[in-house]
Amino acid sequence: MPTATSEDLRFSTPLYTVTEAARLLELSPSTLSTWVKGYQRQSGGGPVVGQPVISSLEPATPRGPTIPFVGLAEGMVLAAVRAAGVPLQRIRPALEQLAKGLGVEHALASRKLYTDGAEILYDLSEHHRDLDPRPVRQLIVVRSEQGVFSEVVEQYLRRIDYGPDGYARLVRLPGYGTAEVVADPERGFGQPIFAHGGSRVADVLGLFWAGEDLETVAAEYGVPRSQLEDALRVASRRAA
């Protein structure tokens, strides 16, 4: 059974602020903040408390990064839940039971979620009396009498590569078309890089914004022009 270690950069080092991670995952900062910090709301029956569902660490400075790479991978999974149209508060009990069923730390960032998670969720929706099966069934479909993730969830999970220990080691960031941009804690300190060439997106686009033409930037960093144009499109959209 894989376990997270305190020496592993993926788990031990905060790399992203909530705002940075939200931008990379194409989520609103308020949504991601709720996942990271939890929430407490008042309802007619009293306070409703939601525990954090994404890993975070103490920042080195008051406004420093708090989310390690494993938290970014967990956020990718929860973004899949959101893309499937299921509010997290409706699926949270099932996710808690799912983590127990997988039997590993950081279950949302584990390969076991990809290989076994849909079947466990399917079993939960069928047999766990305390769970509302309807939101669970929005995440899975049944094929050959077996639960598998729906296409929208599967698309998000395919963005994660796993290491030999079974935990996420690389995330392909959403929002890009031609360009393949990844977050890898072993390269660029987890900041977005072009998979083709390995250069940091910020460095590549910075050269263009400094006045160089696209052909020069492409030659300098070994990134095809079509990917540069795609990355510029994404950067412009996020800045708007």
Tokens for 62, please give them. 């008051």
Q: How do 46-50 and 146-149 pair as beta strands?
A: unpaired
Distances from the Cα of 81 to the Cαs of 86, 92, 110, in angstroms?
6, 10, 16
With contact defined as beta carbons under 8 Å apart, do 20 and 65 qualify?
yes
Q: What pLDDT tens digit does each residue of the chain (240 aa) get?
A: 455 665 899 999 999 999 999 999 999 999 999 999 988 776 666 676 778 999 999 999 999 999 999 999 999 999 999 999 998 888 888 998 999 999 999 999 999 999 999 999 999 888 888 888 889 989 999 887 788 999 999 999 999 999 999 999 999 999 999 999 999 999 999 999 999 889 999 999 999 999 999 999 999 999 999 999 999 999 998 876
The CA-CA-CA angle for residues 18, 103, 129, to 5°, reads: 95
At the second CATH level, the architecture of 175-240 is Orthogonal Bundle (1.10)
Element (DSSP H or E) covering residue 220: helix 214-221
For residues 75 and 68, is the Cβ–Cβ distance under 8 A? no
Span 56-84, pLDDT tens digits: 999 999 999 999 999 999 999 999 999 99
Spatial CA neighbour of 11 closest among 88, 109, 82? 109
Q: Which amino acid is at 130?
A: D
- Looking at residue 70, what is its pLDDT? 98
Taking the CA atoms of residue 126, residue 104, residue 39 and residue 123 in that order, the dihedral angle to the nearest 10 degrees is: 0
> What does the block give as tokens for 51?
């525990």
pLDDT at 1: 46
Residue 17 structure tokens: 């602020």
Give the per-residue pLDDT at 3. Answer: 59
